[in-house]
Amino acid sequence: MRPNRHTLIAGRHNYEVIWDRMLADGSIPMPGPGMIAFCGIKHDDWCSIFNNGLCDCAPEIDAGEPINPEDLSALPEP
Ligand SMILES: [Zn+2]
């Protein structure tokens, strides 16, 4: 479901709501204990988050595979 310009749930950023759904349906990996994961969230230019508001766009969320913090060679490029 793509949100429109309104928040999906009052008081929450759209990216949080979408993130939670993606974790729940397995479309992004859940890091296990002791693991870390990096993610990128790309907001639309008009998103209210850029004006101290709640995210109300349909952000692109890209999450990498969880990595073991002891294996720094697996860190993604910035
Ligand atoms: Zn946004």
Q: Measure 29 CA to ligand 1 centroid, in angstroms.
A: 21
- Kindly report the pTM of this predicted structure: 0.74
More confident residue, 59 or 7: 59
Question: For residue 59, is pLDDT > 50?
Answer: yes
Distance 42 CA to ligand 1 centre (A): 7
- Summarize pLDDT for 31-55 with one digit per residue, the tens: 889 998 888 999 999 999 999 999 9
Query: C-alpha angle 71/72/73, rounded to 5°?
Result: 90
Q: Can you give the pLDDT at residue 46?
A: 94
Domain map (residue ranges) of the chain: 14-68
CA 18, 23, 29, 32 torsion-angle sign: positive
Q: Are 77 and 40 spatial neighbours (Cβ–Cβ below 8 Å)?
A: no
